[in-house]
């Protein structure tokens, strides 16, 4: 599975090949360029250096350009300023040399009529605070209540004020044009308020001839964005929980719940969600993080965070490389196949729920399970559901995901079967409960699916056949079903096992098997005219529907009748599998292999249409 990204913010003052080497070795997977602190020339120079390094190290990192958006800052000073408690500072939006030299500049606009007196003011995501004491045409006066060092180009936020700054400006466009020259991977949009903001960006880019857009990463940091999370998630390629600016717009105690909501929404919609702000703030000046920071990291990973954005930690921090390495350590610990760690996270009655969360949140299973659900419902409503093996089933590969492997081991251990069968000998399926002989388990924690474990085959060179092209056949083609209980297999399960084994060796891209009972094909197999003449039947159907040769380039085969409950059905299937991926089981059903469920279902629909046309022609002929 893909591990969480470690996204590092870099500055022009802190960028070189040696520095990049250190960060990449520590675990950095993405570089964030914060355009709020750059001019167009600085950005262009940074991008040239970063892309040149990436040409030499193609797998080193992605590049994310973070646009300023409609933000407000104070500037006009090059070194950090000390703001003392109870001190008063002056801020202006005018460029007037007659104003006192200590006056701070801002892009925030107001008039003498602005009713801002007594409104709280926050700088740098609330690290420094004050209150407006006076408003004039040129100046606002702010009394400091929480002092400290004010960094150059710091954020300013005045509570309770509605701003009218346009979302997308010319400066944003200049930054994007520079970024597109160097092929940035992601474009982060700051202070998004509504879905219309995203549409504006796309329209502006298209109008200027930029057709291939980078991934659009929407930063959730305004109250307005919270009100339309689902729409923004649908339009975005990824999301960032920007906890700094978000904490200016909502109460800080609400942020954990918003973060949890966004992570759940991202998992549901298969959109990455990154966490930003104060990830490892203590490591700005300390080589050791706090325990609270490590817990925050770990819990976010367990809830599905796709990555973490380090801002000041890597932009100006004293221990940037160590901060990156620290996140990597947490990632390795959380995603290690450590059964004891996972067991400490999950109570016994939560195992199935946790398994389901891990499975649906992983790739590619999340999307496949959604397709599996949809297709199994279609088959059930058509009356094509398989009564024994499960009309649709997905073979799981838990070894591809350490968390999935660990939780599956725990589920199996607690079933009581562990002493009878070695976990390593088992193969695992997720089966739709609607048409399964295991439907009594459909009330489990897997919703409308059932988790099935079967004992794998013992490989032995007992017989060599042309089917396996001199590869050994299996000694005992009758695997035992051992989870959720012990029962004999059906001929369909035997065929599933043998076919998956053959596909792994010969067509590994085909991971999906779809088996259904298309009633029309069962009827066709009873027609005496073509009984035991499958090639003539196939040739005739192809003449009725020439488009089959285009839509089904490998054609289809009709396997001879095989009695249920034996390996004969599997042998008949494997006989034709080397030359096709669609097999009609005589008097039984249809067996299709494919790269994904949608492809399998399309093939099955075409085969069903062919059967309908054939029977229709036969009916007309009879009349």
Question: What would be the CATH architecture of the domain defined by 5-69+168-335?
Answer: Alpha-Beta Barrel (3.20)
| Nearest-angstrom CA–CA distance, 206 and 218 | 18
Max mean pLDDT among 284-293, 387-396, 499-508, 554-563 falls in 284-293
Strands (DSSP E) along 147-236, which ranges?
A: 148-150, 154-158, 186-189, 215-220
The C-alpha torsion from 458 through 463 and 469 to 474, rounded to 10°, is: -20
User: Beta strand 273-276 with 238-242: parallel, antiparallel or unpaired?
Assistant: parallel
The three-state secondary structure class of 387 is coil
Residue with token string 């066709």: 524
Average pLDDT score over the chain = 79
Q: What is the mean pLDDT of residues 236-242?
A: 94
The C-alpha torsion from 308 through 311 and 312 to 314, rounded to 10°, is: 70
For residue 378, is pLDDT > 70?
Answer: no
- Note the Cα 207 to chain centre separation in Å: 30
| Nearest-angstrom CA–CA distance, 153 and 151 | 6
Question: What would be the CATH architecture of the domain defined by 73-158?
Answer: Beta Barrel (2.40)
Q: Could you report the per-residue pLDDT of 424-483, keeping only the tens digit for each? A: 778 787 776 655 556 566 555 555 677 778 776 543 332 333 333 333 334 444 456 677
Task: Give the H/E segment covering residue 598.
Answer: helix 597-622
| Nearest-angstrom CA–CA distance, 527 and 532 | 10
Q: Band the pLDDT of 345: cuts 50, 70, 90.
A: low
Q: Band the pLDDT of 403: cuts 50, 70, 90.
A: confident
Q: Could you report the per-residue pLDDT of 279-318, keeping only the tens digit for each? A: 999 999 999 999 999 999 999 988 889 999 999 999 999 9
Q: Could you report the per-residue pLDDT of 82-107, keeping only the tens digit for each? A: 999 999 988 888 766 556 666 888 87
Residue whose C-alpha is closest to residue 66's, from 193, 202, 172, 144: 172
Residue with more model confidence, 478 or 78:
78
The three-state secondary structure class of 306 is coil
Q: Could you report the per-residue pLDDT of 168-217, keeping only the tens digit for each? A: 777 777 787 777 776 788 999 988 888 998 988 888 877 777 767 788 99
For residue 42, is pLDDT > 50?
Answer: yes
Residue with more model confidence, 287 or 503:
287
Q: Which pLDDT score is estimated for 379?
A: 61
Two domains, one topology: 5-69+168-335 and 351-622: no
For residue 415, is pLDDT > 60?
Answer: yes
| Nearest-angstrom CA–CA distance, 231 and 96 | 44
Q: How many angstroms separate the Cα of 138 from the Cα of each of 100, 117, 361? A: 12, 15, 53
> Is the CB of residue 373 less than 8 Å from the CB of residue 507?
no
pTM tops 0.75:
no
Q: Which pLDDT score is estimated for 470?
A: 37
Q: Which pLDDT score is estimated for 406?
A: 77
Contacts of 531 (CB under 8 A, 6+ apart): 525
DSSP string, 291-305: HHHHHHHHHHHHTT-
Q: What is the mean pLDDT of residues 227-248?
A: 91
Q: What is the mean pLDDT of residues 28-42?
A: 89
Contacts of 329 (CB under 8 A, 6+ apart): none
| Nearest-angstrom CA–CA distance, 220 and 66 | 13
Residue whose C-alpha is closest to residue 183's, from 3, 77, 71, 52: 52
Contacts of 543 (CB under 8 A, 6+ apart): none
Q: What is the mean pLDDT of residues 519-526?
A: 79
For residue 502, is pLDDT > 90?
Answer: no
Within 346-490, residue ranges assigned H as helices are: 351-361, 365-382, 402-414
14: number of Cβ within 10 Å: 13
Residue with more model confidence, 308 or 60:
308
Q: Band the pLDDT of 384: cuts 50, 70, 90.
A: low
Residue with more model confidence, 548 or 27:
27
Q: How many angstroms separate the Cα of 495 from the Cα of each of 389, 456, 522, 557, 585? A: 10, 13, 19, 16, 11
Residue whose C-alpha is closest to residue 139's, from 85, 84, 93, 173: 93
Q: Which pLDDT score is estimated for 63?
A: 92
Q: Which pLDDT score is estimated for 274?
A: 97
For residue 251, is pLDDT > 70?
Answer: yes
Q: CATH: 3.40.225.10, 3.30.465.10, 3.30.1330.10, 3.40.50.920. Which one for 351-622? A: 3.40.225.10
Question: Which two three-digit tokens encode residue 388?
Answer: 């024994």
Q: Could you report the per-residue pLDDT of 604-617, keeping only the tens digit for each? A: 888 888 888 888 88
Share of the chain above pLDDT 90, in %: 23
Q: Where are the domains of the chain?
A: 5-69+168-335, 73-158, 351-622
For residue 412, is pLDDT > 90?
Answer: no
Q: Band the pLDDT of 389: cuts 50, 70, 90.
A: very low
Phi/psi for 347 (5° steps) reads: -75, 160
Q: Which pLDDT score is estimated for 616?
A: 86
- CA distance from start to end of the chain: 59
| Nearest-angstrom CA–CA distance, 381 and 579 | 31
Share of the chain above pLDDT 70, in %: 77
Task: Give the H/E segment covering residue 481.
Answer: strand 481-483
Residue whose C-alpha is closest to residue 514's, from 398, 592, 610: 592
Phi/psi for 217 (5° steps) reads: -105, 115
| Nearest-angstrom CA–CA distance, 565 and 567 | 7
Least confidently predicted of 9-18, 103-112, 381-390, 523-532: 381-390
| Nearest-angstrom CA–CA distance, 49 and 110 | 40
Within 271-364, residue ranges assigned H as helices are: 291-302, 312-315, 320-334, 339-345, 351-361
Q: Which pLDDT score is estimated for 522?
A: 78
């Amino acid at each position: 599975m893909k591990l969480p990204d470690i996204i590092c913010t870099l500055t022009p003052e802190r960028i070189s090949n040696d520095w990049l080497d250190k960060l990449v070795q520590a675990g950095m997977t993405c570089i964030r360029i914060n355009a709020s602190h750059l001019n167009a020339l600085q950005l262009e120079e940074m991008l040239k250096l970063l892309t040149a390094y990436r040409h030499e190290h193609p797998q080193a990192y992605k590049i994310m350009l973070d646009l300023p958006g409609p933000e407000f800052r104070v500037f006009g000073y090059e070194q950090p300023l000390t703001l003392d408690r109870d001190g008063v500072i002056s801020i202006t939006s005018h460029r007037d040399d007659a104003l006192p030299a200590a006056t701070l500049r801002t892009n925030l606009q107001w008039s003498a009529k602005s009713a801002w007196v007594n409104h709280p003011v926050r700088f740098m995501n609330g690290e420094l605070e004050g209150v407006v004491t006076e408003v004039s045409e040129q100046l606002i006066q702010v009394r400091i209540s929480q002092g400290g060092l004010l960094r150059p180009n710091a954020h300013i936020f005045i509570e309770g004020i509605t701003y009218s700054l346009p979302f997308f400006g010319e400066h944003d466009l200049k930054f994007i044009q520079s970024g597109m020259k160097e092929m940035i991977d992601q474009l982060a949009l700051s202070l998004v308020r509504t879905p219309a903001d995203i549409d504006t960006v796309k329209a502006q880019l298209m109008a200027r001839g930029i057709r291939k857009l980078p991934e659009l990463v929407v930063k959730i940091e305004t109250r307005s964005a919270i009100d339309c999370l689902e729409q923004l998630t649908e339009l975005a390629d990824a999301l960032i929980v920007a906890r700094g600016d978000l904490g200016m717009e909502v109460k800080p105690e609400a942020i954990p719940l918003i973060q949890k909501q966004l992570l759940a929404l991202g998992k549901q919609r298969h959109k990455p969600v990154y966490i930003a702000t104060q990830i490892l703030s203590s490591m700005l000046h300390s080589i050791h993080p706090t325990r609270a920071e490590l817990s925050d990291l770990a819990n976010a990973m367990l809830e599905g965070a796709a990555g973490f954005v380090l801002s000041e930690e890597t932009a100006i921090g004293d221990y940037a490389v160590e901060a990156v390495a620290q996140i990597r350590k947490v990632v390795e610990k959380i995603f290690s196949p450590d059964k004891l760690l996972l067991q400490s996270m999950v109570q016994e009655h939560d195992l199935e729920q946790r398994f389901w969360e891990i499975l649906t949140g992983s790739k590619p299973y999340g999307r496949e399970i959604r397709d599996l659900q949809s297709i199994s419902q279609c088959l059930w409503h058509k009356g094509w559901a398989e009564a024994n093996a499960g009309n649709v089933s997905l073979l799981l590969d838990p070894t591809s995901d350490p968390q999935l492997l660990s939780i599956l081991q725990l589920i199996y251990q607690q079933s009581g079967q562990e002493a009878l069968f070695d976990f390593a000998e088992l193969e695992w399926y997720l089966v739709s409960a609607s048409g399964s002989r295991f439907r009594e388990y459909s009330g489990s924690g897997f919703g409308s699916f059932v988790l099935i474990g079967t004992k794998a085959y013992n490989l032995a060179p007992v017989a060599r056949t042309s089917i396996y092209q001199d590869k050994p056949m299996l000694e005992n083609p009758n695997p035992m079903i051992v989870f959720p209980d012990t029962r004999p297999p059906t001929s369909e399960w035997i065929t599933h096992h043998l076919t998956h084994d053959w596909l792994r060796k010969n067509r590994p891209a085909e991971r999906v098997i779809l088996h259904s009972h298309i009633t029309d094909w069962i009827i066709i197999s009873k027609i005496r005219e073509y009984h035991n003449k499958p090639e003539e039947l196939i040739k005739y159907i192809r003449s009725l529907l020439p488009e089959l040769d285009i839509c089904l380039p490998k054609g289809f085969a009709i396997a001879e009748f095989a009695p249920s409950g034996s390996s004969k059905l599997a042998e008949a299937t494997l006989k034709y599998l080397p030359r096709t991926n669609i097999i009609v089981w005589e008097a039984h059903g249809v067996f299709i292999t494919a790269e994904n469920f949608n492809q399998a279902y399309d093939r099955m629909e075409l085969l069903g249409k062919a059967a309908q046309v054939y029977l229709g022609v036969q009916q007309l002929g009879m009349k």
